[in-house]
Amino acid sequence: MSRYELVKTFQGDFVGTGKGVMLWGGDPSIGEAGYVAIELVTGVLNGREGSFLLQQFGTMSSGSHDLRSEVVPGSGLGEVVGISGTLNLVIAEDGTHFYELNFEL
């Protein structure tokens, strides 16, 4: 089991940063692993300034992966109080990561 501190930068309809902690285990080099993470996301979402938490749960096995990332209920602050939703990861062919935030306020 290992611990990892993560930092992300977001651009687009949401401009801001994400900072969090991930715990993972297994062997990602052979495609067999799992992780959990909690991340504080801070910035401007469609003109609204605030922050919220994302809770993540991911597994990889037999060449496939499953990732769930949800806004933690009750975690919205500032102008995003009451936010709910999910964050979807899209990985381009070149390995670049893109995120799609589906949310309600």
CATH of the domain at 15: 2.40.350.10
What are the backbone dihedrals phi and psi of residue 28, each rounded to the nearest 5 degrees, phi first? -60, -25
Burial 50-78 (b: 16+ CB within 10 A, else e): bbbbbbbebebeeeeeeeebebeeebbee
Q: What is the domain extent for residue 23?
A: 2-104
pTM of the model: 0.86
Identify which of 105, 97, 87 has the alpha carbon closest to the alpha carbon of residue 39. 87
Identify which of 39, 47, 38, 37 has the alpha carbon closest to the alpha carbon of residue 78. 47
Query: What tens digit of pLDDT does each residue of 14-42 get?
Result: 999 999 999 999 998 888 999 999 999 99
Query: What tens digit of pLDDT does each residue of 45-98 get?
Result: 999 999 999 999 999 998 788 889 999 999 999 999 999 999 998 888 898 888
What's the total number of domains in the chain? 1
